[in-house]
């Protein structure tokens, strides 16, 4: 009797040599945590494959491709997974492979009526099976042609590929959902993301999570100059990032009084850089309390006035913690493409301004010197500002 199972393929994890076991253990734990809402599942790993099966026969997520899609997408969003397929699992000889391949192709064509060509690919992990991989491909391909006369074989650009795997059980499947690759979250230490309501910072958080880094996030809120809708927008973006990064704490800093003090006592052309320096110092203090080892920003070199090399160097000076900028060499279109792929773009472009945009100078200084920042901050009590941001009105939301 055939049953449906989920097949997930590992990627970079398999290259980890002596550390591979630790990465695989983390990946399996992340999958179990992510899939806990899909009923009782058996999840096990063998030969660079992860197999996910329902423990209950009536689990609705394994009925067919449509019902399995939500589960498969959830698997694909776990970093460390390259691709995911719904496979038909069964025992038997080549005759059983033929009949199950026929049943699978019949169902596939019902959902994809325009498909007219195919090819067969086979992996034979069970070396005791009497036919080798080319022989299995030839046999199954001929059987499918005999039973589906409207199909033709195209080994170069087929409409679909029928995959056969012969292991301790046999499997047939076609098609796959691409995963997000990367390394399992939890294999690196935690970082603190400076999260705004724009396009860049959610992508930066996603990219660092893809390298195995759990993240917390900090958002600077200047009510009433920034609205409650702007705050909710950032919370929604944090939820989107957490689909990939897992549980996070979102620290919402009451930035209004601090920002008004800057506006009153700093030159307008230096305001953005002064603000960034204070933000980084507040974020660093929160990061230390949260056991984070780095800060993460969505800056891209030269994209705006505060992201020139001189401005970045001056903002770096105020913290001891490393600042990771995964978008530093990316252009805006590349960032937007990632934003769309992770489902954040439509939320990021909602028309609610954040504190970084409401007091922007028309002609900001793009190549600041040390003398400029000394002059800009001479009337500010930076230490008091940082203490105020960390201690007064701080809100923490667990995502």
Which candidate, 115, 108, 62, places its Cα nearest to that of 86? 62
In angstroms, the CA 209 to CA 217 distance is 12
Tokens encoding 1:
């009797």
In angstroms, the CA 384 to CA 7 distance is 55
Higher pLDDT, 17 or 109: 109
pLDDT for position 356: 58
Check pLDDT > 90 for residue 61.
yes
In angstroms, the CA 34 to CA 30 distance is 6
Residue carrying structure tokens 């909602």: 350
Structural domains in the chain plus CATH codes: 3-178 (3.30.2130.30), 191-398 (3.40.50.620)
Task: Give, in order, the Cα–Cα distances in Å from 45 to each of 42, 57, 163, 169, 338.
Answer: 10, 21, 19, 14, 29
pLDDT for position 46: 86
Name every residue whose Cβ is closer than 8 Å to that of residue 118 and which is 6 or more positions away in sequence: 105, 141, 144, 151, 152, 153, 154, 158, 159, 160, 161, 162, 174
pLDDT for position 355: 59
260-303 pLDDT, tens digit per residue, is 999 999 999 999 999 999 999 999 999 999 999 999 999 999 88
Give me the sheet containing 294-296, strands edge to edge.
323-324, 294-296, 191-194, 215-221, 249-254, 395-398
The 3-class SS string of 95-156 reads: HHHHHHHHHHHHHHHHHCCCCCEEEEEEEECCCCCCCCHHHHHHHHHHHHHHHCCCCEECCC
pLDDT band at 54 (very low <50, low <70, confident <90, very high): very high
Instruction: Classify the C-alpha dihedral 389-392-393-396 as positive or negative.
Output: positive
In the chain, pLDDT over 70 holds for what percent of residues? 98
In angstroms, the CA 62 to CA 123 distance is 23
pLDDT for position 306: 80
pLDDT for position 358: 60
Query: What is the Cα 92 distance to its own chain's centre?
Result: 39
pLDDT for position 267: 92
Check pLDDT > 70 for residue 250.
yes
Which candidate, 231, 206, 183, 175, places its Cα nearest to that of 337? 206
The model's pTM is 0.91
346-398 pLDDT, tens digit per residue, is 999 998 776 556 667 677 788 889 999 999 999 999 999 999 999 999 999 99
pLDDT for position 65: 84
In angstroms, the CA 48 to CA 45 distance is 7
Tokens encoding 363:
């002609």
Count CA within 13 A, CB hemisphere, residue 44: 5
Residues β-bridged to residue 218: 194, 251
In the chain, pLDDT over 90 holds for what percent of residues? 87
**Neighbour tally for 212: CB within 10 Å:** 21
């Amino acid at each position: 009797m055939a049953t449906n199972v989920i097949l997930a393929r590992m990627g970079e994890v398999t290259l980890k040599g002596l550390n591979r076991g630790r990465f695989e253990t983390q990946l399996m734990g992340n999958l179990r945590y992510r899939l806990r809402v899909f009923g009782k599942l058996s999840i096990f790993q063998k030969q660079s494959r992860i197999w996910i099966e329902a423990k209950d026969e009536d689990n609705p997520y394994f009925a067919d491709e449509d019902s399995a899609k939500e589960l498969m997408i959830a698997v694909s969003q776990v970093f460390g997974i390259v691709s995911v397929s719904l496979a038909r699992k069964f025992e038997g000889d080549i005759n059983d492979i033929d009949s199950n391949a026929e049943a699978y192709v019949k169902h596939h064509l019902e959902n994809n009526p325009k498909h007219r060509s195919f090819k067969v690919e086979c992996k034979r992990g069970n070396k005791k099976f009497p036919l080798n991989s080319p022989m299995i491909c030839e046999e199954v391909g001929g059987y499918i042609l005999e039973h589906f006369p409207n199909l033709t074989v195209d080994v170069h650009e087929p409409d679909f590929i029928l995959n056969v795997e012969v292991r301790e059980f046999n499997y047939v499947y076609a098609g796959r959902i691409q995963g997000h690759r990367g390394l399992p979250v939890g294999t690196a230490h935690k970082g603190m993301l400076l999260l705004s309501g724009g396009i860049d910072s959610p992508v930066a958080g996603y990219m660092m999570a893809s390298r195995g880094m759990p993240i917390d996030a900090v958002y600077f809120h200047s009510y009433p100059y920034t609205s409650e809708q702007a705050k909710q927008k950032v919370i929604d973006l944090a939820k989107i990032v957490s689909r990939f990064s897992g549980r996070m704490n979102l620290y919402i800093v009451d930035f209004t009084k601090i920002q008004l003090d800057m506006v009153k006592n700093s030159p307008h052309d230096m305001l953005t850089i002064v603000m960034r320096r204070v933000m980084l110092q507040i974020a660093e203090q929160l990061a230390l309390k949260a056991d984070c080892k780095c800060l993460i920003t969505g800056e891209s070199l030269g994209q705006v006035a505060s992201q020139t090399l001189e401005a970045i160097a001056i903002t770096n000076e105020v913290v001891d913690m490393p600042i990771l900028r995964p978008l530093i060499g990316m252009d805006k279109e590349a960032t937007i493409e990632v934003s769309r792929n992770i489902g954040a773009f439509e939320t990021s472009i909602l028309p609610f301004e954040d504190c970084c945009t409401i007091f922007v100078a028309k002609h900001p200084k793009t190549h600041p010197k040390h003398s400029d920042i000394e002059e800009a901050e001479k009337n500010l009590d930076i230490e008091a500002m940082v203490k105020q941001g960390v201690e007064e009105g701080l809100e923490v939301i667990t995502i």
